[in-house]
Chain A
Amino acid sequence: MTTVASFEINYLQYLSPNGDLVGDKKPNIATNYEHLKSIYELMVMTRTFDTKAVALQRTGKMGTYASCLGHEAVHIGIGAAMEESDVFAPMYREYGAQFYRGVKMSEVLNYWGGDERGSNFSGPQHDFPWCVPIATQCMHAAGAALAFKLRGEQRAAVSVVGDGGSSKGDFLEAINAASAFQLPMVLMIVNNQWAISVPRKKQSAGRTLAQKGVAGGLPCIQVDGNDYIAVYTAVKSALKRAKEGKGASVIEAITYRLSDHTTADDASRYRPDDEVENAREFEPIKRMRKYLTNQGQWNEQLENQLIATCKAEVDEAVEEYLNVPKPEITDMFDYMYADLPHDLEAQRRYALEQEEKSNG
């Protein structure tokens, strides 16, 4: 018997949980302190936002919200590695990536506050909005990547899927499309260990989720998803490869969902507390702060300033969200089609009449 195919999955980490640089070949970014400080600031901003968003939901000022607590490094790593002209197809909790790309905090709040206008967000207008049906966005990214390839554009698409989402046919079909068409795309698995209450080990007996790309012949790698430097480096190089016409990659980022799945979930029903406590040791913000502090790049005074700035900016975003004018009843009709079909005109008129009646 001869071996006709074999594979290995490598794991990439630069920044240890203690805040030490590990491994021998360090990327330049590891000592680009200005960059890392700005990233650290965005991580803290994202977490401040997240905490506030949960509080808004708890106090009845917003609908169900999907927290990104613990995902800051991987999300912002993706955002920072991308260029503006690339296209991003997120699921529903990658705010860090979106903030990096220019989406406003008030827009995220507006979306979870139940207003479609939140999906008409700032930032690259070609980016996809949040996608609720699991993994379907992978194919949108593949379609966008196919468009770039056909038009000869130097652009790539990035989709994000969870460990749960990696079980869906859509994810595997997107891998297959990326493989068959040699698409300029990056398929990210953000493995936060839980798909609501179902643990990672119940999704697949495979040793890694990254290896799902092996079937399509794509390069596959695991990265420490709590290590910004590793995520950034992996995504950056996968994007470079994609834009050089060498095809797609699969990256599994290992992280941990420190929050409930959404504000409608209670993770204590299915998840041991000590597991969560343990995961806090590995969380991304603590790690980056330790590193920057060890390098003499960060101190308590800067930290206090940052906390004040984040609080003020988040408060401002919340104000903006709370004061956003109500949508018009006619909005429900006006974005259904480019031109309102005749049969909807009557319904639109009727809805407007009802609205006027109820407004007295």
Chain B
Amino acid sequence: MAKVTMVDAVTMALAHELRNDKDVVILGEDVGINGGVFRATNGLAQEFGEDRVIDTPLAEAMIAGLTVGMATQGMKPIAEAQFMGFIYPMFEQIVCHAARFRNRTRGRLTCPLVIRAPYGGGIHAPEHHSESTEAMFAHIPGLRVVAPSSPSRAYGLLLAAIRNPDPVLFLEPKRVYHLNKEEVEDDGEEYPLDMCFVDREGTDVTLVTWGAMMKETIEAADKLATEGISAEIIDVATISPLDMDTIHESVEKTGRCVIIQEAARHCSLSSEIAANLADQGLYNLMAPVKRVTGYDTIMPLFKMEKKYMPTADRIIDQVRKVMEVS
């Protein structure tokens, strides 16, 4: 079995579905001969032809609108937004149309499409290349928002996203595109959507996170373990619809919860998880829910981006706070 990075796993999943389903096509800026600026579509145009891996004119609203049109007519388009910071021209098409066609037409027209976007900071990119605005999309009924945290999850979840009969926004944490290699078998096995993964079992505190922040969260959990604090780690994976059951179950066991996200705090996914714990799981809690997040500021340019993003130390700080209450 090959050891691959996350970006390789994305390519593997795309190639698998291009091979598997003739209705699948990829479209976006530079996805063809160049293989995408992150090389996520590397070699696919050469293998499958420029009719399956399509370089489009530079127009994001158009790319999204085309995918909507194609999807309603029975194709399975996968669009690439080159960076999540450039997804906003697509927003109207995603919100007003992709997310709504099934409901609007009572199921007559549907949008089985995927929009992939590299997201998040930490790669020293220019302005608009580093934000994590998943909550904007998670707020939209009718959409799925998925963010893998490892190569195998990128492979399995992307396959599931492509095969899903509804629109999926697939957010790829680009900071960890090349971070770790993992053995991923190209067997076409999909991973379940709409489900959190419990990555590590623990008894003292539940750490909830997704995407690239998994890295700092594991670091924090490792350090805490040496101090005798046992952390359970949950990878949310599907940001919307949100699997609160798994989170509640874990908190029932640990009694404590810290949520970690790179995104700004205000009205974010961590807000939703915390509110849900207060509403439905208050009596399981032994301490207030804590959040470790980006600040409610614009993601700074790269000299300061590390200061913006949660670190293992910031996570440990909050875990200590919730552990103080017994």
Contacts and interface: CB of A to CB of B under 8 A. Distances in A.
B30 to A, nearest CB: 14
Given A136-B92, A139-B66, A150-B25, A119 B106 contact: yes
B69 interface: yes
A24 interface: no
Given A177-B66, A342-B243, A116 B72 contact: no
A146 B62 CA distance: 12
B188 interface: no
A138 B97 CA distance: 12
A265 interface: no
Nearest to B59: A173
B149 interface: no
B243 A139 contact: no
Interface in A144-184: 144-148, 150-151, 157, 169-170, 173-174, 176-177, 180
B103 A173 contact: no
A119 B92 contact: no
Interface string B127-164: 00000000000000110100000000000000000001
B165 A146 contact: no
A170 B141 contact: no
Say whether chain A's binding surface is mostly helix, strand, loop, or mixed. Answer: helix
Interface string B186-222: 0000000010000000000000000000000000000
Contact of B97 (A117, A140, A151, A337): A140
B61 A169 contact: yes
B101 to A, nearest CB: 8
Contacts of B51: 150
Contacts of B62: 139, 142, 170, 173-174, 176-177
A153 to B, nearest CB: 9
Interface in B95-116: 96-97, 102-110
B239 to A, nearest CB: 12
A116 B92 contact: no
Contact of B103 (A145, A150, A151, A336): A336
Nearest to B141: A336
B180 interface: no
A174 B57 CA distance: 11
B70 interface: yes
Contacts of A217: none
Contact of B69 (A117, A140, A176): A140
A120 interface: yes
Interface in B40-95: 51, 56-57, 59, 61-62, 64-75, 77, 92-93
A270 B242 CA distance: 49
A50 B25 CA distance: 42
A136 B25 contact: no
Given A128-B72, A335-B102, A136 B65 contact: yes
A180 B25 contact: no
B105 A341 contact: no
A126 B110 CA distance: 10
7 contacts: A120-B105, A120-B108, A129-B104, A136-B92, A139-B64, A143-B77, A343-B241
Given A170-B65, A338-B164, A342-B245, 8 more contacts: A119-B104, A136-B97, A147-B74, A148-B73, A150-B25, A176-B59, A176-B62, A180-B56
Interface pairs A-B: 3 shortest CB-CB: A143-B69, A139-B65, A341-B241
Interface of A: 87, 89, 116-117, 119-120, 125-126, 128-129, 132-133, 136, 138-148, 150-151, 157, 169-170, 173-174, 176-177, 180, 331, 335-338, 341-344
